[in-house]
Amino acid sequence: MSRKAIQWSGVFPAVTTQFKADFSLDLQATHQVMRKLVDDGVSGLVVCGTVGENTSLSTAEKLAVIEVAKDAAAGRVPVIAGVAEFTTEFARNTVREAAKAGADGVMVMPALVYSAKPHETAAHFRAVATGTDLPVMVYNNPPIYRNDVTPEVLIALQDCENIVCFKDSSGDTRRFIDLRNAVGERFVLFAGLDDVVVESVAVGAEGWVSGMSVAFPKEGETLFRLAKAQRFEEALALYRWFMPLLHLDARPDLVQCIKLCEELVGRGSSITRPPRLPLQGETLAEVKAIVAKALATRPSLPDVGL
C-alpha cells in the first residue's frame, strides 16, 4: 500500500452520528445523512471521527456506523473510519474490526488521554499501521487530543508504507511546507481545520476532512475545487461568506455547533450524547444567528464540475 494506491482527494465530510431522543444510535438517520452527502457530490466520507462522537460509541456501534456508511457510499466514494482508543492494542484491535466491517481506510488518532512524548506517538502510529493492510491517515489535532504530531514524527514514519496520509488540525499551515521540504510528496496532505482550508490547499493540501461540509456540502466541495484550481478570486469570495460557519469547527463545542447547523438546514438532528449537552442561551442564539445570516446571503456557486 502506498499513496499511489489510494484515490483520496477533495472534500471528505466528517460525518455526524445520529441519535434518537433517548440517545440510542439511529442507524437509519445516519444512513440518510451519509447518502445525501454522497448524492451532493462529496469526495469521501469520514465516520467515527471527532464530529462523529467516536469516544461516545461502543465498539459494536462504531462497526455498525462503518457498515451503514459503506452501504450509503455504494462504492461511489471511499469510507474512512476514525480510530480513537486509549491504548495502542485497543487501536490495533479496532482497526482489524473496521477492516472486517468494510472500511476503505482508517484515520488514526494518537492514544487518547495519555500525553505522549514524540517517540511514543510515533511508536503508536507505527504499531497500529503495521497491524493492518488498510491505508492509514494520521490525524493531528493537538488542541483537542493534547498530543502533537509534528513533521518530525511524520518523518520518522516515512518508511511505514501504508501510512499514506496526514490530516492536520493544528491550524499551522507551515507544517505542510516543512513536511514537503523534508520528504517531498511521500504523504497525501489533508486540511483538518475548516477555517484554514484555502491556505492549506495553497501550500499543498490535496484533501479536506471538513466538519461544516456536513451541513453545506456543495459549498464545501466548491470552495475546495476553486482553491485547488487556483481560482482564488472566486474562492475568496465564497470563503468570506463561509468563514463565520467555518469558525464553528475550531471551537471546543464544535460537535454541538455542527450538529445544530445540520438541524437548522434540515440535514440531521442536533442531539449529542452526554457529556456533550445542547447549546444554550447566548451560545445557542449566536450559532442560530450565524446560520440565519448565511442562509439569507447564500451565494450562487461557480461551476466547478459538481
Q: Which residue matches cell numbers 457498515?
A: 67
Residues annotated catalytic, as ranges: 139, 167
How many domains are contained in the chain? 1
pLDDT band with cut points at 50, 70 and 90 for residue 4? low
**pLDDT at 147 (0 to 100):** 84
- On whether residue 122 sits in a domain, the answer given is yes
Judge whether 171 lies within some domain.
yes
Query: pLDDT by residue (tens digit) across 31-41?
Result: 999 999 999 99
Alpha helices in 130-216 (DSSP H): 142-145, 151-156, 174-183, 197-202
Assigned domain for 56 exists: yes
CATH number at residue 233: 3.20.20.70
Neighbours of 174 (CB within 10 A): 11
Q: Does residue 266 belong to any structural domain of this protein? A: no
| DSSP structural state of residue 245 | H
> Is 209 flagged in the annotation as binding?
yes
Q: Calculate mean pLDDT across residues 96-112.
A: 96
pLDDT in tens, 15-26: 999 999 999 999
In a domain, 284, yes or no: no
Q: What is the pLDDT of residues 111-137, one digit of tens each?
A: 988 888 999 999 999 999 999 999 999
**Per-residue pLDDT, 280:** 98
| Residue 233, helix vs strand vs coil | helix
Q: Would the pLDDT of 1 be above 70?
A: no
Domain range enclosing 193: 8-250
Answer whether 26's CB lies under 8 Å from 233's CB: no
The pLDDT value recorded for residue 23 is 98
- Residue 217 lies inside a defined structural domain of this protein: yes
